[in-house]
Structure 1
Amino acid sequence: MRRAWPALLLALLTGCSVASGATSTVVTLVVGYQSKTINTVTAGTLLRAQGYLEQRLSALGRRTGKTYRVEWQDYSTGAPITAQMVAGKIDIGSMGDFPMLINASRTQEFGDGRTALISATGYNLHGALNMVVVPVGSSAHSLGDLRGKRISSSIGSAGNGTTVRALTGVGVDPDSDVQMINQDPAVGASALRAGAVDALGQFVAWPGQLVFAGQARLLYDGAALNLPTWHGVVVRQKYASAQPDVVQAFLQAQLDATAYLNAHPMEAALKVAAATGLAPEVVYLYNGPNGLVTFDPTLRPDLISALQKDIPFLRSIGGIKGLDLSSFVDRSALAKLSVPAPHRPSNAGEVWFVGGSATVTASSPDSLLRLIRDSGRKVRAAYVDDALTGTRWFADKSFWVYDNGLHPFDVETEARSYVSAHPGSRIVDYPTAVRLA
């Protein structure tokens, strides 16, 4: 896989599109986004669906007398967005942490092709947005069981970075001990369902979608690495210099989308689901008030620190060459705006009942299960926090341990470790957990 990185990345730095730019009265902004990477929705799917960017640019046009045109380009991963930015064909793009660094490294090789990181979209400080899943009936119960197996992943993506790090951490060489197959997320998901690969290492929302549909089982939660994973917004510096008001309008529109998502989480989830074809229950798992993603455009120090820690790893596998991170991170545009602090209400779980327009919260895993049992209502989805990592997951897909109370774990290895450390405890299935609550 290390040998494949340079060739793959070089191949991605090609392509053609309608060039962006401006005439005397018409200014074009080309936005590259990933519709199904739903922790970028405030700079992509939801932003587009709500029309906030067009509204902000229309207001700008009334002040400048110019016409602003937005061209949206949807991609499955961040790599082709980088390729188009290098070619000067995309002006603003959203992508994950690993693709961001590759973007910075590649564009810094060109005099006027440099890019700048101007905002974050969504993050998880523990890394739970990247996961490894296997077929439901797989014989693999830990990462070590994947030795000799075929793993689908998008090389150069945040999900691939987590997969490689996780395998390395348990003594599995990603180059020689497994067969890493470079595939787009949708292709990899199909390959997993067809039995063409043995595991899928991907980013939000593919693991959740497959598990919710009963097509996969969670094998590894990226939160075990305890390293922040996040997505952000990158702009071509040449475009930002020529059109600073447009970049400012984009960030204002991103704040509009963030405020809407936080104020109307259920409605936002339904809109994103309608635009992407993802299950609403999966979108809400990630984008709900206590979901896996925290939406906050601030370029927090801990997020930038995480990028700094990623650089040596990317160098070691041939993903990047030189990189000046300080010249890539640009907080100046966002600093001109008032950015509210993210608000995350605290609860141990939620139930989305059929016919309900909002979820019902619970204060503990036991109370969540009692609520489900005693309501007499049909459940669309129930969400509960992992007892070890805090990762929110589907209650009926979790591994439950009974030990003077019920403890949910999103992966089997965590549950078995708990049982080993607590004599007398035992793993129970979900229906039994509901009965015992």
Structure 2
Amino acid sequence: MNARWKAVTSIAALGAALAGLAGCGGSGGGGGTVRVDVGYQSKTINTVTAGTLLRDLGHLERRLAELGRRNGKTYKVRWYDFATGAPLTAQMIAGKIAIGSMGDYPLLINGSRSAGFDDARSRFVGVTGYNLRGSLNQVVVPRDSTARTLADLRGKAVSTSVGSAAHGMLVRGLRGQGLQPADIEILGQDPSVGVTNVESGKAAALAQFVPYPQQMIFNGKARLLYDGGAIAFPTFHGIVAREKWTRDHPEVLEAFLAATKDTTAHLHRDPLDSARRVARATGLQPEVVYLYNGAGGLVTFDMTIKPQLVDALRKDVPFLKEIGSIKELDVDAFTDDGPLRRAYGPGYDRDAASLTNPAAIKGRDEICDLDVTDPRTASEAWIGEEITPAANPTCLLRLVKKRGGEPRAVYAPSADTGTKLFADAASWVRDPRAEWPLLPFATPEAAAAYVGGHPGAQTLDYRAALAAA
């Protein structure tokens, strides 16, 4: 690992937690009681269907109560909330947690670290949510920063969670622009610490996973410098379970996965209610939660283990070995979709083959008089207590202009990658030759690239785009 990578908190936290938890009991219970200890990350909101929302809706407890009526056992669920995947992994290895949810890189670290412990060896058993392009990881800078590309961060401090997918995205992005990790100072920090350091000027940028980058943008504290979607490399979060514990209690893992499916179905039926529930439970703004978890959101919630995601895990292993986070891992042996297939029921193979977001933006565009059908352009405005669809970003701006006042949030997909954005924080382009002339982009760099290839197009900010609508 490069000497300038400082404060590797993910690894330090793992060691500290292991030391503190050595000798703790397992998640089994004596007699007719089975204790089910579940680890989750409440603020990592693309795990909500196996964490925050699952807990709020109570589907797991109901499933286990029904199971207990059949087999005479009592199941007691205990929930443990973590800031990152590292301490969750530590408690799984220590025998404290039976089932947990975390990001793709932490999943690999979990599988590698637990492989040496017969009682703690884990398996990757399901997905919570994914983004095939990688837009769940982003780099933000203060609004007044002069940086326009990742190359402008040369020699500066960047906060990230070392060993996370956000860290991997940062390194891939740097190398794509001709830089190496040694060209910047990487600060290994928990997300909340990184946010504080960027706001106080101790770090020039934050490279993180959901929801921290867009939360800073929504609060007016930052702007997007780099979208992980530019890499077009999948990122996701998933479910990991201790193999021995779930072999002893297979009915619990099946109930957990079935309850996660129940929760996913609720999110698809009512994404706004789901976002509000998660916001109440976490203290995050519902507008930020909805950007990720809402209709057509940055996260596609789908439990099935898709070949594209397993392939991404294989390609992630070399980076984690390079930085010393893992020694080795057989991804295929680590992956086990058997329990999920049993819990999921008919349709698993069909859904595993599909890459369509089940929670699409639908409806009728009242301004442009069009059906909202194309996920590449579908947009939404949250005005008052109502979310209204628009067929494309141009129609969205016309809607906002007609309604007047300040909407709670305005959402539109980036014209190049499809990354869902807060439209008022996007970089806009007016292209008079386009069918719909107003186009949002995730970053100024992306907008400038479009203008360079389209004569007559010009960049403009949100207010000017709204006026042009």
Contact 1:354 1:377 in 2 (8 A): no
AA partner of residue 412 (structure 1) = P
Deviation by residue 1:194-252 (Cα, 9 ceiling, x = unmatched)? 11111000001111111001011100000011011000000000111110000011001
Is the 2:150–2:177 contact (alpha carbons within 8 Å) kept by the matching residues of 1? yes
- The CA distance in 2 between the partners of 1:401 and 1:10, in whole Å, is 45
1:424 aligned partner: 456
Aligned positions of 1:167-178 closer than 5 A:
167-174=174-181, 176-178=182-184
Bigger mean CA offset, 335-344 vs 148-157: 335-344
- Residue 348 in 1 paired to residue 354 in 2? no
For residue 55 of structure 1, report the CA deviation from its aligned partner.
0.8
Q: 102, 105, 111: which one pairs with 2:112?
A: 105
- Does 1:402 pair with 2:430? yes
Which of residues 327, 331, 335 in structure 1 aligns to 2:337? Answer: 331
Q: Identify the residue that residue 302 of structure 1 maps to in structure 2.
A: 308
Is the aligned partner of 1:94 residue 2:122?
A: no
Q: Is the 8 A contact 1:26 1:68 kept in 2?
A: yes
| Cα displacement (A) at 1:145 | 0.4
**Map of 2:276 onto structure 1:** 270
> What is the CA-CA distance between 1:8 and the residue it aligns to?
5.7
1:347-426 correspondence runs (5 A) = 348-356=378-386, 359-404=387-432, 405-426=437-458
Q: Is the 8 A contact 2:9 2:189 kept in 1?
A: no
Task: Tell me if 1:140 matches 2:147.
Answer: yes
Contact kept in structure 1, 2:139 and 2:170, CA below 8 Å = yes
TM-score by length of 1: 0.96
CA contact (8 A) 2:13 2:86 kept: no
The residue correspondences of 1:228-267 to structure 2 (distance < 5 A) are 228-267=234-273
C-alpha separation in 1, matches of 2:259 and 2:10: 34
Alignment partner, residue 34 of structure 1: 41
Between the aligned partners of 1:384 and 1:191, the Cα distance in structure 2 is 29
Could you tell me which residue of structure 2 aligns to residue 165 of structure 1?
172
Q: Say which is worse superposed, 124-133 or 51-60, in terms of deviation.
A: 51-60
* Distance across 2 between alignment mates of 1:318 and 1:324: 16
**Does the 8 Å contact 2:95/2:119 carry over to 1?**
no
Q: Which moved more, 1:42-51 or 1:333-342?
A: 333-342
Secondary structure (helix, strand or coil) at the match of 1:197 reads coil
Match of 2:11 among 3, 6, 9: 9
How far apart are the structure 2 equivalents of 1:154 and 1:18? 29
Which shows bigger deviation, 246-255 or 103-112? 103-112
Aligned residues: 434
- SS state at 2:287 partner: helix
Name stretches of at least 5 consecutive residues in structure 2 with no aligned partner.
352-356, 361-374
| Secondary structure at 2:147 match in 1 | coil
Tell which deviates more after alignment, 47-56 or 3-12.
3-12
Deviation at 1:66, TM superposition (A): 1.2
Asked if 2 retains the 8 angstrom alpha-carbon contact of 1:117 and 1:233, the reply is yes
What residue identity is the alignment partner of 1:402?
Answer: R
Aligned residue type for 1:74? D
Aligned equivalents of 2:391 and 2:12: distance in 1?
51
User: Contact between 2:165 and 2:209, CA under 8 Å: does it hold in 1?
Assistant: yes
Comparing 189-198 and 105-114, the one that deviates more: 105-114
2:145 partner SS: coil
- 1:107 partner amino acid: S
Return the alpha-carbon distance in structure 2 between the equivalents of residues 63 and 2 of structure 1: 56
In the TM superposition, residue 111 of structure 1 has moved relative to its aligned partner by 3.2
The one-letter code of the counterpart of 1:318 is: G
Task: Report what 1:119 is aligned to.
Answer: 126
Greater Cα shift, 9-18 or 369-378: 9-18
**SS of the residue 2:206 aligns to:** strand
For residues 59-70 of structure 1, what are the structure 2 equivalents within 5 Å? Answer: 59-70=66-77
Matching residue of 1:191 = 197
CA distance in 2, matches of 1:344, 1:93: 24
Structure 1 distance, partners of 2:431, 2:42, is: 42
CA contact (8 A) 2:294 2:359 kept: no
In the alignment, structure 1 residue 207 sits paired with structure 2 residue 213: yes
Q: Is the 8 A contact 1:79 1:156 kept in 2?
A: no
CA distance in structure 1 between the aligned counterparts of 2:332 and 2:456, rounded to whole angstroms:
53
CA pair 285-21 structure 1, distance change in 2 beyond 3 A: same
State the one-letter code of the partner of 1:433. A
Q: What does residue 216 of structure 1 align with?
A: 222
Q: Which amino acid aligns with 1:427?
A: T
SS at the partner of 2:408? strand
Cα deviations by residue, 1:125-179 (Å, 9 ceiling, x for unpaired) = 00000000000101111100001111111111221221122122212221x2111
Change (3 A) 1:412 1:289: same
Aligned residues of 2:142 and 2:223 also touching (Cα < 8 A): yes
Tell me the amino acid that sits aligned with residue 255 of structure 1.
K
- Give the deviation of 1:317 after TM superposition: 2.3
Distance 1:366 1:372 in 2: 10
Q: Call closer, same or farther: CA 1:171–1:106 in 2, change over 3 Å.
A: same
Kindly provide the CA deviation profile for residues 2-30 of structure 1, in whole angstroms up to 9, marking residues without a partner as x: 46699963651423266421212110111
Aligned to 1:240, the other structure's residue is in SS state helix
Q: SS state of the match for residue 21, structure 1?
A: coil
What is the Cα deviation at residue 377 of structure 1?
A: 4.6
Contact 1:92 1:235 in 2 (8 A): yes
For the Cα contact (< 8 Å) 2:295–2:359, is it kept in 1?
A: yes
